Amino acid sequence: MSQATDENINRVNNYVTKYCRKTGLTTHSMPEVTEAVVTGLAHNIETLGKPLCPCRFYPDKAEEIKSRTWLCPCTDMKNYKYCHCMLFVNEDGMPVTEHLPEDHEGLTTYGVTKDPAPEKYKAPK
């Protein structure tokens, strides 16, 4: 993958900081995890024009962008505060799973992990 520009990395970092405040979450405790996701998002902004989640495989990135499901914050993050990338996590470094539907793979993978700021959660309509 080509290197993302400092401008877009800073842009994504600013967004991440604001989104953490908005949701009551934090970034991963391992800086290299956060850095990899931020760099991937910045790279996708540069090459695709949108912050497509860098943690997934897409047969057709243009189609994925049209669906908007995996644009950061992805649909699961917006609806359930669940971040597949582990960019937005609770204080223990775990993705929030307590709001997920019971058949969601996140619950199978991580079990129930609490939301540190449930007052900042809005259930999907």
Which residues carry out catalysis?
A: 55
Measured distance CA(111)–CA(15) in Å, rounded = 28
CB 77 within 8 A of CB 56: no
Burial of 30 (0-12, 13-18, 19+ CB in 10 A): exposed
Per the listing, tokens 């359930």 go with 80
Q: Which of 100, 105, 107, 54 is nearest to 81 (CA)?
A: 100
